[in-house]
Amino acid sequence: MKGLIKNDFFVFKRTVALALPINYVLSALIIIFSETDELLYTFPCIYSGMILGFIPAALYSEDKRSGWNKYNAVMPYRRRDYVIVKYLFGLVASLIYILFISCVILIKVNFSDWLDFDDYLFMLCIIVVCCLAPVAIIMPIALKHSPQVGFLAFGISCLLIGFLCGMASGYLDALFEENVDYWYNGGRGSFIILGSVALISVILYIISWFCSIKIYEKADL
Amino acid sequence: MNAVEVNDLCKEYRDFTLDNISFNLPSGCIMGLIGENGAGKSTTIKLILNIIKRNKGTVKLFGRDNLDNFVEIAEDLGVVLDEVGFSEKLNAVQVGKIMRNTYKKWDQKVYEEYLDRFSLPLKKKFKDYSKGMKMKLGIAVALSHDPKLLILDEATSGLDPVVRDELMDIITEFTRDEGHSVLMSSHIVSDLEKTCDYIAFINNGKLLLCEEKDRLYEKYCIIHCTKETFSELDSSAFIGKKESPYGIEAIADRSKIPSSFEMSSIDIEKLFIFMVKGALT
């Protein structure tokens, strides 16, 4: 498995990793200097999370282009090792980013009372969702069909989920107008929803990991 | 002992079927798989290497089923596919580092010797390599962990004659050790004719023939005759013919042709073409 990790590390260094330092710097600057929630949640959480979530599929896409996915299949590796390494890469990159963001927020908290622990938890949930959901959706489909189909499926899923969330929020607003406001303004409502979504993402991610292994073991490369 | 044993191997696609392929490659021998583009050579090799899943049949490498023990078997395999699958961003040094962590028997010194012998630049990116250089790097990797079986799929296609000749020399050198075997596919028949001990013809997903090369030379011959003479001879003696205004050129079984007939020796390319295109109906 070490050879597979090494290969992914070299490829990662030469391709995906180029975008990450910019991402890190921008995220840190936004967290430290931003005074608005929108920017704080959009770039460091959603955008950066998504970028990290695309890492396993991007690595697989590069392998498919070069033929490494076929070539390593004739080496002393089990097919499951190949999938595990891809998921591990995404996971480690996400954990490093979360660690980095946590440090930046810690610095910010020391100098300003604008961010508190609740904000941190809120951001963490968004990052977890954005890091895990793309991998969970894209990878099994990419391994079964192609990375392009995987990315397409993810795009369609986002549109669908966005549409359904919009519908649901409009419906709930109309149905329980004051109660919904109270629920949110009470502070815990959005936490419960986001926490649940994060939990669902984690479960989906684990299921996706097992499905990807099964799919890849049976696939014609 | 056989290095490769293939029995009743089948693979079905929507528009192509590999149909009951069976052959054995004894240890210490070189076998050439010859066939047109799309005949099923690569499919056969991919099935042997477990890159694609078979529908029926068995494949044994060194006496072990390739589905059950592939990780162990792969330690003794050196493989060069038609596309050497390294990322374009890597260089030869990085490839060496990856392989050092892949094969238990990886010999970095041998790898470096091959890089030196092939004059491959160490720091140049794989994407900047020529087709020949890429293939040479693939060969260097395939040979640097002391494999017992070398499998080459269209490794010579797209290479210039000098590089092809060099590659054939390496393969011959490799099989000097009796425990080393080679299975290679190509549609460049002359390459295989030079080096192979066994020849297998694949056409349209079917194995037309699998014989020792010298046995083919002994068994078959070319005869030239008129249409009238041809019709007088035993039709079962012929496996293919070509008609022209000057008469008939046919490939025949020597044992079934009267010794008074003038017979010339065949070459593998001609035999293959006659078998595929000039089959008697």
Residues of B in contact with A76 (CB under 8 A): 71-72, 74-75, 102-104
Q: DSSP secondary-structure letter at B251?
A: E
Residues of A in contact with B129 (CB under 8 A): none
Contact B275, B208 (CB under 8 A): yes
Contact A90, A12 (CB under 8 A): no
Q: Closest chain A residue to B91 measured between Cα atoms?
A: A10
Q: Which contiguous run of DSSP H or E holds residue B181? A: strand B181-186
Angle at which helices A117-144 and A189-218 pack, to 10 degrees?
A: 20
Question: Over 70: is that where the pLDDT of B51 sits?
Answer: yes
Nearest chain B Cα distance for residue A137, angstroms = 25
Scanning the structure block, which residue is given the tokens 């020792």? B212
Instruction: With CB atoms and an 8 Å threshold, state whether A70 touches B89.
Output: no
The rounded Cα B242 to chain-centroid distance in angstroms is 27
Q: Closest chain A residue to B87 measured between Cα atoms?
A: A66
- Residue among A2, A4, A70 whose CB faces B81 most closely: A70
Contact B143, B106 (CB under 8 A): no
Q: Report yes or no: A70 at the B interface, CB cutoff 8 Å.
A: yes
Q: What is the mean pLDDT of chain A?
A: 86
Nearest chain A Cα distance for residue B170, angstroms = 21
Q: Closest chain B residue to A16 measured between Cα atoms?
A: B89
Query: Considering the entire predicted model, what is its pTM?
Result: 0.87
Q: ipTM for the complex?
A: 0.85
For residue B281, the model assigns a pLDDT of 44
Furthest C-alpha separation in chain A: 63
Lowest mean pLDDT across A5-19, A111-125, A178-192, B49-63 = A178-192
pLDDT (tens digit per residue) in A114-125: 777 777 888 888
Residues of A in contact with B85 (CB under 8 A): 66-72
Contact B31, B183 (CB under 8 A): yes
Contact B157, B135 (CB under 8 A): no
- Which one-letter amino acid corresponds to residue A206? I
Lowest mean pLDDT across B112-126, B194-208, B262-276 = B262-276
Whole-Å CA distances, A158 to A39, A186, B123: 20, 29, 42
Nearest chain A Cα distance for residue B48, angstroms = 10
**In 3-state terms, what secondary structure has residue B222?**
strand
Residues of B in contact with A6 (CB under 8 A): 97-98, 101
Contact B48, B151 (CB under 8 A): yes
% chain B with pLDDT above 70 = 99
Q: Closest chain B residue to A77 measured between Cα atoms?
A: B71
Provide the number of CB pairs (under 8 Å) joining chain A to chain B.
Answer: 83
How far is Cα B111 from Cα A49, in angstroms, rounded to an integer?
41
Q: Closest chain B residue to A61 measured between Cα atoms?
A: B87
Q: Which of A45, A153, A173 is nearest to A100 (CA)?
A: A45
**In 3-state terms, what secondary structure has residue B6?**
strand
| H, E, C per residue of chain A | CHHHHHHHHHHHHHCHHHHHHHHHHHHHHHHHHCCCHHHHHHHHHHHHHHHHHCHHHHHHHHHHHHCHHHHHHHCCCCHHHHHHHHHHHHHHHHHHHHHHHHHHHHHHHHHCCCCCHHHHHHHHHHHHHHHHHHHHHHHHHHHHCCHHHHHHHHHHHHHHHHHHHHHHHHHHHHHCHHHHHHHHHCCCHHHHHHHHHHHHHHHHHHHHHHHHHHHHHHCCC
Q: DSSP secondary-structure letter at B75?
A: T
Residues of A in contact with B82 (CB under 8 A): none
How many residues are present in chain B?
Answer: 281
For residue A180, the model assigns a pLDDT of 60
Instruction: With CB atoms and an 8 Å threshold, state whether A69 touches B50.
Output: no
Contact B164, B11 (CB under 8 A): no
Q: Which of B220, B218, B242, B223 is nearest to B233 (CA)?
A: B223
Q: Across residues A72-84, what is the average pLDDT?
A: 94
% chain A with pLDDT above 70 = 90
Q: Report yes or no: B52 at the A interface, CB cutoff 8 Å.
A: yes
pLDDT (tens digit per residue) in A134-170: 999 999 999 999 999 999 999 999 899 889 888 887 7
**In 3-state terms, what secondary structure has residue B202?**
strand
Q: What is the mean pLDDT of chain B?
A: 89
Q: Report yes or no: B34 at the A interface, CB cutoff 8 Å.
A: no
Q: Which residue has the higher pLDDT, A201 or A18?
A: A201
Contact B252, B237 (CB under 8 A): yes
For residue B278, the model assigns a pLDDT of 63
**In 3-state terms, what secondary structure has residue B230?**
helix
Nearest chain B Cα distance for residue A10, angstroms = 7
Sheet holding B220-225, edge to edge: B238-244, B247-253, B220-225, B263-265
Residues of A in contact with B53 (CB under 8 A): 218, 220
Question: Over 60: is that where the pLDDT of B160 sits?
Answer: yes
Instruction: With CB atoms and an 8 Å threshold, state whether A7 touches B85.
Output: no
Residue A38 token pair = 């929108």
For residue A4, the model assigns a pLDDT of 94
For residue A207, the model assigns a pLDDT of 95
